[in-house]
């Protein structure tokens, strides 16, 4: 007999070899139905894995967050078994659970196509009906290598495991897979699933290795939850910024121009210019000074800053001309250090806040590129604040609040805040413990004093200092870093930055790196998906479309009010095409223009406008000046 202790402190004796499923069934039949897996002495156990010794046990039920991961991890194995039956030559890479489902990387001689997913699903359902137990077995390294000797991917994974690693495999009838575990015990427990898509994926993310086929899927505990998720995915597809960007002529991506290099089309550039003007005014009010620096820098500049040692793998190759070695700028902070150093500074001059709309270049792997979300040339509003130590808290807080204002004005919401700290065991951080301790202490105090909830992320700091990262969830469900405030004691040392203190001596300033609202590229992807392409009036590339009913009778008045709108700095267009009225109205709706104005006899005779707002059926007639005032108020208030 073994003693099982439960989270509430109670305990009970069971036969050795009992499973989580059996323990749950002993407690109640309803708990057995809800059980998915469990923790045994803190280790994740499959639903059917035998417990061989006294243990503390916590049963994972469907309502627990871990349950979804266990289900989808198991579904990945189910799919792999189905693929192996249909494609006997298949070799398998990795198949983890992910936030909304699972995937498996597969290598087959015969390519798997989108239309084959239904065939694989049907085979999965057959295996579910076979009610195959998912059995765990431990192997020695030699046994594991012998078993997978015809699978180069599993062999490589086994070879790379630490010498003392316990190697486990899971078998479902004829199918056996290398896996650490955490399974739902039997294929009968995986009833509601859907295979979603196929994509290419380089083995272990290395573009020089084999490209495998990655099949994505999702599994849920009820048909209702599965259908609800599929509805969300369908909605996201309609919001996909790549689809909307093409339809609304916002941007273009062309292999001829270069992968990951976005071309801004007129509509997209208009929105970008609006955002640039908005940020410029916001920063101007906050006391920022705007500068401009080159898109190139010498290799020496980045050696001084330390970026060459830490980030050169993400830089484009060097260029040599006239005895100098240049790189495309991956970040602007070294340039701003030089700007600060261009003059003598007094303690009275600080804080100095430099901001720049800057284009940076990062060499992202081609497989990581994704629309505007991940590109190789990106433009952002970057800022560096040079402050005294006694000004740090106020300036960090002011920068944080400026970020909050921008995020709110754009109609976005913060998902959570991270405080990225160093890991002393990792060598990628500069090694001044005193400065690190001071910087991290100040950041923690600031967040605690302001009551800002945050998650501490050890090891995620920049190499030069801790940072506050603000995470936003997009309409597509992605959580991305939108904004950042970083504290830096290192670059002032490396660039020998000083100011004359009140005591007449030289002192080091502290640098605060501030990223306001990500890059224009990533921000555009977020906004397109957030608003489904229907930008709020203040951001819309065209705010008003004026449509005369008749080109012969209503054209003069239509032109008159269109010119008036333009005089009031409204982005208005006059549609004088020789097309039917219904066609023009539908075009304005398709282009998601906030206001369409139809000019007929009544409008000409009464000098009014009749407008219809995008997404609404009602037509409203008002005096022209009243309409202008209404839109101006909407723009000023940045109405969503």
Q: Which tokens belong to 418?
A: 């991270």
How far is Cα 245 from Cα 10, in angstroms, rounded to an integer?
59
pLDDT score at 430: 65
Mean pLDDT of the chain: 91
pLDDT over 70 (residue 460): yes
Is the separation of the CB atoms in 439 and 463 below 8 Å? no
pLDDT score at 428: 64
| 3-state DSSP assignment of residue 124 | helix
Structure-model confidence comparison of residues 349 and 473, the more confident one: 349
Low-confidence winner among 56-60, 154-158, 238-242, 421-425 (lowest mean pLDDT): 421-425
Q: Which tokens belong to 222?
A: 């009820």
Number of H helices, E strands in the chain: 20, 33
Structure-token match 């969300």, residue found: 232
Residues 509-530, mean pLDDT to the nearest whole number? 93
pLDDT score at 425: 66
Element containing residue 24 per DSSP (H, E): helix 20-27
How far is Cα 387 from Cα 509, in angstroms, rounded to an integer?
5
Q: Is 41 left (phi over 0), alpha (psi -120 to 50) or beta?
A: left
pLDDT digits (tens, 9 = 90+) for 605-634: 998 999 999 988 899 999 999 999 999 999
**Model's pTM, two decimal places?**
0.76
| CA dihedral over 327, 333, 336, 338, signed as positive or negative | negative
Residue 639 DSSP label: -
How far is Cα 110 from Cα 91, in angstroms, rounded to an integer?
12
Low-confidence winner among 32-41, 91-100, 204-213, 279-288 (lowest mean pLDDT): 204-213
Element containing residue 481 per DSSP (H, E): strand 479-488
pLDDT score at 255: 87
pLDDT digits (tens, 9 = 90+) for 16-37: 999 999 999 989 999 999 999 9
pLDDT over 90 (residue 314): no
Nearest Cα residue to 443 out of 403, 400, 497, 407: 400
Tell me how long the chain is.
640
CA distances from 36 to 27, 163, 244 (A): 15, 31, 40
Is the separation of the CB atoms in 350 and 388 below 8 Å? yes
| CA dihedral over 482, 487, 490, 495, signed as positive or negative | positive
pLDDT over 80 (residue 213): yes
How far is Cα 301 from Cα 297, in angstroms, rounded to an integer?
6
Q: Which domains does the chain have, with CATH numbers?
A: 2-61 (3.10.20.30), 66-226 (3.30.980.10), 253-530 (3.30.930.10), 544-636 (3.40.50.800)
Please give the distance of CA 573 from its chain centroid, rounded to a whole number: 35
CB neighbour list of residue 328: distance below 8 Å, 6 or more residues apart = 295, 296, 315, 316, 361
CB neighbour list of residue 566: distance below 8 Å, 6 or more residues apart = 572
Is the separation of the CB atoms in 360 and 378 below 8 Å? yes
Q: Is 496 left (phi over 0), alpha (psi -120 to 50) or beta?
A: left
CA distances from 44 to 70, 134, 318 (A): 10, 15, 48
- The DSSP string of 255-319 is TTT-TT-EEE-HHHHHHHHHHHHHHHHHHHHTT-EE----SEEEHHHHHHHSHHHHHGGGSPPPE
CB neighbour list of residue 137: distance below 8 Å, 6 or more residues apart = 168, 169, 170, 171
């Amino acid at each position: 007999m073994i003693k099982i202790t439960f989270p509430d402190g109670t305990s009970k004796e069971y036969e050795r070899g009992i499973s989580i499923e059996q323990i749950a069934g002993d407690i109640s039949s309803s708990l057995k139905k809800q059980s998915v897996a469990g923790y045994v002495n803190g280790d994740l156990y499959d639903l059917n894995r035998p417990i061989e010794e006294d243990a503390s046990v916590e049963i994972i039920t469907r309502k627990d967050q871990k349950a979804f991961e266990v289900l989808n991890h198991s579904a990945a194995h189910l799919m792999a078994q189905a693929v192996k039956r249909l494609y006997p030559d298949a070799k398998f890479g990795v198949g983890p659970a992910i936030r909304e489902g699972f995937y498996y990387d597969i290598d087959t001689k015969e390519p798997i196509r989108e239309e084959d997913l239904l065939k694989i699903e049907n085979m999965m359902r057959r295996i579910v009906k076979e009610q195959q137990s998912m059995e765990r077995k431990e192997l020695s390294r030699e046994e594991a290598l012998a078993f997978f000797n015809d699978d180069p991917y599993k062999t490589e994974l086994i070879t790379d495991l630490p010498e003392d690693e316990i190697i486990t495999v899971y078998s479902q009838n004829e199918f056996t897979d290398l896996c650490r575990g955490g399974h739902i015990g039997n294929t009968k427990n995986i009833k509601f699933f859907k295979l979603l898509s196929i994509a290419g994926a380089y083995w272990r993310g290395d573009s020089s290795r084999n490209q495998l086929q990655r099949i994505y899927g999702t599994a849920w505990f009820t048909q209702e939850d599965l259908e609800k998720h599929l509805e969300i995915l369908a909605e996201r597809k309609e919001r996909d910024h790549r689809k909307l960007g093409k339809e609304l002529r916002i941007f273009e991506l062309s292999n001829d121009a270069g992968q990951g290099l976005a071309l801004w089309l007129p509509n997209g550039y208009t929105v970008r210019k609006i955002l640039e003007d908005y940020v410029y005014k916001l920063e101007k009010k906050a006391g920022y000074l705007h500068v401009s620096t080159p898109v190139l820098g010498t290799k020496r500049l980045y050696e001084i800053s330390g970026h060459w040692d830490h980030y050169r793998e993400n830089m484009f190759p060097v260029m040599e001309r006239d005895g100098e070695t240049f790189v495309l700028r991956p970040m602007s902070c070294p340039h701003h250090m030089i700007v600060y150093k261009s003059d003598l500074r007094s303690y009275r001059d600080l804080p100095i806040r430099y901001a720049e709309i800057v284009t940076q270049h990062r060499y992202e792997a081609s497989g990581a590129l994704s629309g505007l979300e991940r590109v190789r040339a990106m433009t952002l509003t970057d800022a560096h604040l040079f402050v005294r130590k006694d000004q740090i808290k106020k300036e960090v807080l002011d920068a944080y609040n400026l970020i909050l204002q921008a995020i709110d004005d754009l109609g976005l919401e913060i998902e959570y805040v991270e405080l990225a700290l160093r890991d002393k065991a990792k060598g990628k951080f500069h090694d001044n413990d005193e400065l690190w301790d001071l910087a991290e202490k100040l950041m923690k105090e600031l967040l605690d004093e302001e009551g800002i909830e945050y998650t501490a992320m050890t090891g995620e700091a920049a190499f030069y200092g801790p940072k506050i990262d603000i995470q936003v969830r997009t309409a597509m469900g992605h959580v991305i870093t939108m904004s950042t405030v970083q504290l830096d004691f290192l670059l002032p040392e490396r660039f020998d930055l000083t100011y004359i203190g009140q005591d007449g001596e030289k002192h080091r300033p502290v640098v605060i790196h501030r990223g306001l609202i990500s890059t224009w590229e990533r921000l555009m992807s977020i906004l397109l998906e957030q608003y489904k392409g229907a930008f709020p009036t203040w951001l819309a590339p065209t705010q008003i479309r004026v449509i005369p009913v008749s080109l012969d009778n209503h054209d003069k008045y239509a032109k008159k009010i269109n010119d008036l709108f333009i005089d009031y700095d409204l982005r208005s267009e006059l549609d004088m095409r020789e097309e039917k009225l219904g066609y023009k109205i539908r075009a304005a709706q398709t282009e998601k223009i906030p206001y369409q104005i139809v000019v007929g006899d009544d409008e000409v005779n009464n000098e009014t406008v009749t407008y219809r707002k995008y997404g609404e059926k009602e037509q409203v007639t008002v005096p022209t000046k009243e309409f202008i005032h209404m839109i101006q108020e909407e723009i000023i208030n940045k109405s969503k």
